[in-house]
Amino acid sequence: MTLLAVERIKLFTTRSPWWCAAVALTIVIGFAALITGTAPSDFPITVATSQFGYSFGLAVIMVLAALSITTEYRFGTIKSTFLAVPNRTAVLLAKTGVVALLALVIGEIAAFGALGVSALLAPGSDLALNSAADWRQVAGVGLVYAITAVMGVAVGTLVRHSAGAISLLLIYVMVVETLVPIIPRVGDDIYKWLPFNVAEKFLSGDGAVRGASEGPPLSTSTLSPWVALAYFAGVAAVLLTAAIMVARRRDA
């Protein structure tokens, strides 16, 4: 518990988490307001459309998570931490837990805030959470953000440089996963197993409760929603394990 308290204090005494949280909330809720407020009268406003901006907030969560560890390497505070607590595994797990919890809270506030704004701007639309799929679409955003934060901390630990870690994370999500499907013959098969495509399957399922044009693009993964979440979490666990092993072997 002491380690968790220390990591919480270190995280919240810097400006970057506050700025990142504010930006993520503004983007997700702002997109919902923009889409709902400017939609033509015949455009269906649904639970899915209210969550259209979650992927942009996801990029901000990556930045937040990466900065939580790379700034410690940049300013050398990680050395003092490892001297005070020689168990590096415990330190990194505590930091990851605190950052993931913050990402979870941001995700839930953003998702339900976006839903609330949409309901306020389009009171006649059907935005009730009537099914498990609807609940996953909204409440699941926090879980995806939390797991993404674990990945961000892991990559930040491996790279140790803020610019490098952030660039690697954003390029992967925004470029690599987007371009893989265009690889001849094998692209679509590979894309089915890429982590953020699989995470989308958890959130949107097979799209049975919404049209393909409502909300973010549907996932091509063949996994069921909860298995997809487990797979996504497994990828994050592998990355974090690799990061901890590397951190234990090299100098701070």
What is the average per-residue pLDDT within 63-82? 91
Q: CA 176 → CA 43, 172, 183, 245, distances in Å?
A: 32, 5, 11, 26
The token pair at 83 is 């001297």
Question: How far apart, in whole angstroms, are the C-alpha atoms of residue 238 and residue 200?
Answer: 19
Q: How far is CA 53 from the centre of its chain?
A: 12
Q: What is the pLDDT of residues 168-226, one digit of tens each?
A: 999 999 999 999 999 998 999 999 999 999 999 999 877 655 554 555 677 888 899 99
Domain that holds residue 184: 2-249
Cβ 91 vs Cβ 85: under 8 Å: yes
**Class of residue 32 by CB neighbours under 10 A (exposed 0-12, middle 13-18, buried 19+):** buried
- pLDDT value of position 1: 66
Task: Name the residue with higher pLDDT: 161 or 206.
Answer: 161
- Domains in the chain, number: 1
Q: What is the pLDDT of residues 119-153, one digit of tens each?
A: 999 888 888 888 888 999 999 999 999 999 999 99
Phi and psi for 70 in degrees, rounded to 5?
A: -70, -30
